[in-house]
Amino acid sequence: MVAWSIALVNVAVFAYQFRLGESRAAVRFIYEYGLVPARFGVDFAGAIPTLVTHAFLHASIAHLLGNMIFLLVFGDNVEDRLGHWRFLLFYLGGAAVAATAQALLGGDPRTPLVGASGAISACLGAYMRLFPRQHVQALIPVLVGPWLIVRLFSRQRPWFAPWLPAWAFLGYWALIQATEALGATVADAGGVAWWAHVGGFGYGVLLAKSVARSEPRANEPYFG
């Protein structure tokens, strides 16, 4: 319920951004509610809310849709284990930690950070920690190739439906984020907040077990 509500808020905010178009009001909106690291040196108290508000803004429809798909595929399952209110606090905390990591370790301090990817990375980290062996359908050639060979000669069926355990899929994803973050410079980062992904994912992995409910619901397979 909370994951879907968060998604709806993101859609509503983007609809407002879309209505503003490329006007000066749109630019002011981004700089006011996006996270601008340099702002903390000028107006620290006023910049604090942007640790969270930046996670409800997006740069494009593709940016929005990509984030919301990951949120709804993985976030709702994490919500089941944490409970509604704890998930909400966990999500907002993930946004703040991810933004702090990006502000400290990467990017131009004058450029606004927008997007839910840091908070969603926290959900991915929590999912990997809480459901490490859960099946995730994915097409990552470097991982799926060897996995298909193993399944082809095993008793598991159907072998033609490639799946990976969550620890492999999300662990590989996290490795890519960390590699890109360590190798990127301000010039070649390509506008991607790699350190926000790394910070959010680490937060999720470290915190998930301590905030999850002691008795999980029925462990049904989840596909993402």
Residue 42 to residue 40: CA distance in whole angstroms: 5
Record the tokens describing residue 21, joined without a space: 């178009």
User: What region does 141 belong to: left with phi over 0, alpha with psi -120 to 50, or beta?
Assistant: alpha
pLDDT at position 80 over 80: yes
Q: At 186, is the pLDDT very low, low, confident or very high (cuts 50, 70, 90)?
A: very low
Averaged pLDDT, 156-164: 54
pLDDT in tens, 164-184: 788 888 888 899 899 888 886
Q: Is the pLDDT of residue 224 over 70?
A: no
User: Is the four-CA dihedral 166, 168, 171, 175 of positive or negative sign?
Assistant: negative
HSE toward the beta carbon, residue 37, CA cutoff 13 A: 17
pLDDT digits (tens, 9 = 90+) for 106-122: 777 888 999 999 999 99
| Residues 2, 145: Cα–Cα separation, whole Å | 36
Q: Are 75 and 120 in contact (CB under 8 A)?
A: yes
The predicted pLDDT at position 184 comes to: 66
Q: Domains of the chain by range and CATH?
A: 2-211 (1.20.1540.10)
Determine the average pLDDT of the residues in 131-146.
Answer: 61
Please write the tens of the pLDDT for every residue from 19-65: 998 889 999 999 999 999 999 988 999 899 999 999 999 989 999 99
Say how far apart CA 178 and CA 161 lie, in whole Å.
Answer: 29
pLDDT surpassing 60 at residue 161: no
- Whole-prediction pTM value? 0.82
pLDDT score, position 185? 54
